[in-house]
Amino acid sequence: MVYRFTAHIACGLDDPEQDDCMLAGLAESDNEEDFSMMFMCDFGESDAQEVSLGMDTHCLVTPDQGTAYGCVRLVELDGDVLRVTLDPTSLAELGLTDPVVEAVLCAPEADTARMREVLSRILAYGRPDARPVVRAL
């Protein structure tokens, strides 16, 4: 099964002077009850505690603060649809039932381009065995 939503909002934040972490986000709207996906990673290298906890990679946050680290397996852009395939073992943590999420990108082009730029860097962060396959981002 696939969960599909229309992303009217997209953002990419990566200024270490202003932001706590790198963040690439997609949301149906600015209503907290609507669906959203926030991909995040630290700016710097992970410390020993983060490594020991498996937090030395990207994380994904969904509504209600569902959070999983290193859970993205594949990201691909097909036209205006961003398809994200997740590790099925992370679905409960994320509060999701489907391992594939498709976002129809309807946000302003500049915002979408910025989100894609930051997302590519987030997905390349951390230990190599937790990095997803990225196609045409």
Tell me what pLDDT residue 52 has.
Answer: 66
Q: How confident is the prediction along the chain (137 residues), in pLDDT tens digits per residue? A: 899 999 999 999 998 888 788 999 999 999 988 999 999 998 877 676 776 666 678 999 999 899 999 999 999 999 999 999 999 999 999 999 999 999 999 999 999 999 999 999 999 998 898 899 999 88
Tokens of 45: 């290298």
Q: Amino acid letter at 44? A: G
Bridge partners of 6? 104
Bridge partners of 37? 26
Tell me what pLDDT residue 17 has.
Answer: 86
Tell me what pLDDT residue 99 has.
Answer: 98
Tell me what pLDDT residue 53 has.
Answer: 64
User: Which one, of 44, 38, 26, 42, lies nearest residue 72 by Cα?
Assistant: 38
